[in-house]
Amino acid sequence: MGGYGRHVVERLIIFVATVAISVTVVFFAPRLVPGDPLGALSLKLANVGGNLGGQALVDDYARRFGLDKPLPEQYVAYLRQLAQGDLGYSIAVFPTTVGDLIKSALPWTIGLLMITSVISWLIGSVIGGVVGWASGRVKALQGLVPIALLLYTIPYYILAIILVFLLAFLWPVFPISGAYSAGMHPSLTPEFAADVLQHAALPALSIILVSLGWWFLSMRSLIITGKGEDYITWAEAKGLPDRRIFWAYAFRNALLPQLTGLALSLGQIVGGALVMETIFGYPGVGYLIFSSIKTLDYPVIQGSILLIVISVATANLIIDLAYPLIDPRIRVGSSGRM
């Protein structure tokens, strides 16, 4: 087996191990939290006056979801169910399946993440590259560096709270929560699209601003470091215009590490989006997880978190396998390592 073949096998083993460990963690972690979903169900029945026959219903739920069995048996049943591609039913909103809940929440999270990730990456990379290339020549641009540092160090939730106070309370420009206005029904109309964009503005702006600071600093550093490379010196010796050297040589070569960084930062980006969804009541996967944790809805917690873990791990695997192929400067040695 060649060097790249060993590299593929090693990365696949890491991927499988990551997923296997995650499957175990997402099963046991919710069960370590004090309380249980049946207790939450009993409290819910009591609040609506469902005392008569309530215990029988709770017992039926325990049998239906296997919660009356020892934990090892529950774990084996969970693995068997997962191997069949079945995420099970929600306890809190039975008989809705976990798959249906995720399907309804996933488009909101994907839309928010894709748009904010691409926008912040593009803006941060372009501005950071220009500032890095002009370093030492255009002093005015260097004032953007402390601003980027400030944005990068502000946590997502702090910036979200500040934006809510400024743009939802002090100046009510944007809605404070939700994905669309009450009374509206999802449809392919300009009115609904405009309403969705208005509701997504604050959570998207929070993620974009924080992420933008990192992409700016990262690209600026890559451009400054690359100025001394031989291909830059060669291009300058040929008498090529400064603008062409920047875009065709410096910026283009710095994009590969930026792309890798985007894939590797998916976990952090997803985590930030989940916090945003909770703060703004945005009906994505993050808000679904938050709601499920409140009711200790084990199947929904397991399915949602596992979906995120597998998505991030898959993205990292793809970029890890593709990087040696798209970047000729990287070679996989005989040991299978880059």
CA 134 to chain centre: 33
Same domain, 108 and 169: yes
* Shared-domain flag, residues 72 and 138: no
Q: Does residue 24 have a pLDDT over 80?
A: yes
Domain tally, the chain: 2
pLDDT in tens, 197-248: 888 888 888 888 888 888 999 999 999 888 878 888 888 888 888 888 888 8
Q: Are 7 and 338 in contact (CB under 8 A)?
A: yes
124 and 207 together in one domain: yes
CA distance 145 to 156: 19
* Residue 198, both tokens: 């208005």
Are residues 155 and 272 part of one domain?
Answer: yes
Give the burial class of 251: count Cβ atoms within 10 A of its Cβ; 0-12 exposed, 13-18 middle, 19 or more buried.
buried
User: Do 50 and 12 sit in the same domain of this protein?
Assistant: yes
Residues 291 and 328 in one domain: no
pLDDT at 216: 92
> Worst-scoring range by mean pLDDT, 184-193, 287-296, 299-308?
184-193
Q: How much is the average pLDDT of 45-53?
A: 55
For residues 103 and 202, membership in a common domain is answered with: yes
pLDDT at res. 40: 65
pLDDT tens digits for range 323-333 = 777 665 555 55
Asked if residue 171 and residue 290 are part of one domain, the reply reads yes
Confidence of residue 126 (pLDDT cuts 50, 70, 90): very high
Per this entry, what is the length of the chain?
338
Residues 87-103 as b/e (b if ≥16 CB within 10 A, e otherwise) read: bbbbbbbeeebbbebbe
Report pLDDT digits (tens) over 71-124.
888 888 888 888 888 888 888 787 889 889 998 888 888 888 878 888 889 999
Q: Which of 263, 288, 286, 267 is nearest to 276 (CA)?
A: 286
Residues 321 and 242 in one domain: no
Q: Does 275 lie in the same domain as 126?
A: yes
Residue 135 scores a pLDDT above 80: no
- Together in a domain, 292 and 305: no
Element (H, E) at 29: helix 3-31
- pLDDT(46) > 70: no
The verdict on 226 and 186 lying in the same domain is yes
**For residue 127, what pLDDT is reported?**
92
Domain interval for residue 305? 1-92+297-338
Amino acid at 112: L
User: Domain end: 264, 280, 296, which one?
Assistant: 296
The single residue listed with the structure tokens 């009906």 is 283
CA angle 255, 260, 261 (to 5 degrees): 95
Task: Please answer whether residues 180 and 195 qualify as being in contact, where contact means their C-beta atoms are separated by less than 8 angstroms.
Answer: yes
Q: 309-327: per-residue pLDDT in tens?
A: 888 888 888 877 877 776 6
**H, E, C per residue of 158-178:** HHHHHHHHHHHHHCCCCCCCC
* CATH value at residue 210: 1.10.3720.10
